[in-house]
Amino acid sequence: MTEETVREILKPEWNKDAGLAYIGKYILVGITYLDHKGNEKVRQQMHGIVESASETDGIKINLKGVYDGKIWTMPPDQRAISEASPGTYTLHMTKEKIENPDLLAMWTMQGPDPHENDV
């Protein structure tokens, strides 16, 4: 089995209607970066308005707050997205307060073992 075949098998299914429904919604994104052993290295949080969402181009967010004016593209994996519960969300690093976002997206990224490719 080739690497490309494995990627295609693991590729999440894209729901076009759900993707279209994201457009114009306010989203809060949280990313936790882990080292290869699973220890937390850093957290990043950002928020903004979903500009577009497609299976091929990902989910483009027009960021607000400390990242105002920047565009960030999330992978087209809808499993990371859920409806946000009403309330005030305080961002860990910036202490920004986000009132009643429409959506939440949570990601965990784990780094590779630095010795994995040693010969």
pLDDT digits (tens, 9 = 90+) for 41-79: 999 999 999 999 999 999 999 999 999 999 999 999 999
- Beta strand pairing status for 26-34 and 103-110? parallel
**Cα dihedral value 30, 36, 71, 83, nearest 10:** -30
Confidence grade of residue 111 (pLDDT, cut at 50, 70, 90)? confident
Which stretches of the chain are DSSP H helices? 3-10, 16-22
Confidence grade of residue 116 (pLDDT, cut at 50, 70, 90)? confident
- Tell which residue, 84, 80, 76, has the closest CA to residue 19: 76
pLDDT digits (tens, 9 = 90+) for 80-107: 999 999 999 999 889 999 999 999 999 9
The pTM for the full model equals: 0.83
Confidence grade of residue 12 (pLDDT, cut at 50, 70, 90)? confident
User: In the prediction, which pLDDT does 7 show?
Assistant: 55
| Phi then psi dihedrals of residue 63, to 5 deg | -75, 150
Say if residue 10's pLDDT is above 90: no
Q: For 32-39, what is the mean pLDDT?
A: 92
> In degrees, to the nearest 5, what angle opens at C-alpha 58 toward C-alphas 52 and 60?
40
Q: How far apart are the C-alpha atoms of 25 and 23, rounded to whole Å?
A: 6
